[in-house]
A and B are shown apart, each in its own frame.
Chain A
Amino acid sequence: EIVLTQSPGTLSLSPGETATLSCRASQSVRSNYLAWYQRKPGQAPRILITGASNRAAGIPDRLSGSGSGTDFTLTISRLEPEDFAVYYCQQYGSSPLTFGGGTKVEIK
């Protein structure tokens, strides 16, 4: 199975700053089928990015995904209070689907 490694584990930033989250795969992700999710306590995970770089419906353009093969990045520009959460990457190109360990973006 594909192992996804996210870094850093925690990112401490101030509102208005830019967050850069990394997701590295143990082998190439087929067709760049890599998604990013946001998760807040007590809420359903929210999908942000599919296919490595396609924003899901309703996701602001402050959030962008990039990368291919084994290295992927989620960038959140101009951090707003609602952006402070845990972010997960997930590959859906190979079975079993697998998730990264998460990056927590916290207020500095």
Chain B
Amino acid sequence: VQLQESGPGLVKPSETLSLTCIVSGVSISNYYWSWIRQPPGKRLEWIGNIYYSGTTNYNPSLESRVTISLDTSKNQFSLKVGSVTAADTAVYFCAGGAGWLPGFWGQGTLVTVSS
């Protein structure tokens, strides 16, 4: 199983951060798919997850700005974070698992919010 995050490494303040996770080696069906981030010098933060049925769960701290979606035809899922600030600068990981536990992860991608 391989997961690969892709998307811009630099986003301007107040804009929308968009990332995609391309999944290979397993069907996106029948799993939970998560996004997790780690700001510099801080701990890992769970952003939310989506089940293959489309049901989503979000961290309340980010829920108002976050959307996670699936594209089963492309075997990938996506993250959007709106109205970003410097506090959203982080390494973003995509991950998957049979339940809520993220059992397999991508390597992560650094997204910097700066003008």
In contact, A44 and B3 (Cβ under 8 angstroms): yes
Chain A residues, Cβ within 8 Å of B104: 44, 47
Q: Is A107 an interface residue (CB 8 A)?
A: no
Tell me the dominant secondary structure on chain B's binding face: loop
Binds B, one of A16-24, A67-75, A97-105: A97-105
Tell me the dominant secondary structure on chain A's binding face: loop
Q: How many A-B pairs with Cβ below 8 Å?
A: 48
A48 to chain B, nearest CB (A): 11
Interface size class of B (residues with CB under 8 A): 20 to 34
Q: Give the complex CA separation of A95 and B98 in angstroms.
A: 16
Residues 1 to 56 of chain A near chain B (Cβ within 8 Å): 33, 35, 42-47, 50, 56
Q: What is the interface of chain A, defined by CB distance below 8 A to chain B?
A: 33, 35, 42-47, 50, 56, 88, 90, 92, 95-102
